[in-house]
Amino acid sequence: MSYIMVDIEADGPIPGDYSMVSFGAILVEPSLSKTFYGQLKPISQKWLPEAIQVSGFSRNETLEFDEPSSVMHKFADWVVAATTSHRPMFISDNNGFDWQFINWYFHHFVGKNPFGHSSHNLGSLYKGVAKDMFSTFKHLRKTRHTHNPLDDARGNAEALLQMKEKFGLKIDLV
């Protein structure tokens, strides 16, 4: 299995009514060299100022971003190329949020999701590794959490690699 760490930024709480602003993805392997970054033009007229502010972009800036269909087709091609003959597995810090946007956008713009129907949550995984429902993995990041989704995906991928190295997490990273 090939794990792809994903982080997204959005201008609201749900896809369809609101838009994914940007996302970053990184193949989880020691070099962390295979990455994807996309910025997407809004798909609706609705947006929350406090949500878009987190992304660091203005609404006017997002109106100049790339067409979502083009970005999602490029991302689908990247997922296939990055994972070669292995099944891609989506993983994120908050898969309840990130997955809903990526899944919706893939189905809406590409017609299918190359990740299939499954995803993993990094925070929950760490709680199991630590055997503590109140613990957090965030101290394992090397890259600072900036709300640039590629930075954040990289930091989360670093944390997953640390779980393998420091805690002996049994995970096959291809």
> Which of 107, 108, 120, 147 is labelled catalytic?
147
Q: 73 an active-site residue?
A: no
Total residues found in the chain within this entry: 174
- What is each CA distance from 91 to 5, 11, 62, 156, in whole angstroms? 5, 21, 25, 9
Q: In this structure, are residues 8 and 90 in contact, taking their beta carbons and an 8 Å threshold?
A: no
Instruction: Give the residue numbers annotated as catalytic, written as ranges.
Output: 147
